Amino acid sequence: MAFGQSATDPALWFKAGTKVDLSKELSLSLSGQYRASTLSDDRLITEAQFGRELNKKWDLGLELRHYMIFDTKGATQGTFHRVRAQFYASQHIDLPKGDLHFRYALQQRAVLTGSGNNKFTGRFRVQYDYPIKDFKWDPTFEAEVFASGDPNFDRSLRLGVGSDSKVAGKKLGFGYFYQRDLSNTGTHAHVVQTSIRF
């Protein structure tokens, strides 16, 4: 669950999912997410993600998404559809103090019905897990850059911090990230997240 506040539009996101190990190296994650906003359109997102562990330092993944957009605010109203495919590679490095992770991703969004543009985006994320002795809520820090091609040429930066720990046999997580559109400095968002994993 996440609550985000952009410059003009507060939103609430709910997501539920499950992960299945298909083999020792291959996993499948299935999830559904609903995004409710006050000004922009509500969305229902279904997702399937395949992950493959190559070794202790590298893993690969393919993420497939379908978006249902419920437009009830404009002159042309209806339910519209988009799809997105993302391929990523993750690198993991053990440091003397903590773990460092790099994630390289390429994604293609296609508009099936409704307004909007097809968009090709590259993403690069750095994540650092910092262990604290005798403390169960070790923090994680991350920074991610987004860069899209023609026709949008968007550039965005996301900075975040989070933590998780087991409580009563469940894994609880909390996090926050700030995102700014580097192409339009007036566009930014604050997002607070909480999660529980069974």
DSSP string, 92-123: EEE-SSSEEEEEEEEEEEEE-SSS---EEEEE
Q: For 21-39, write each residue's pLDDT tens digit.
A: 999 999 999 999 999 988 8
- Residue 92 tokens read as 């993991």
pLDDT bracket for residue 185 (50, 70, 90): low
Domain limits, the chain: 2-197
pLDDT in tens, 54-81: 999 999 999 999 999 998 876 778 999 9
Longest dimension (CA), the chain: 58
Superfamily of segment(s) 2-197: Autotransporter beta-domain (2.40.128.130)
Q: What percent of the chain has pLDDT over 70?
A: 96
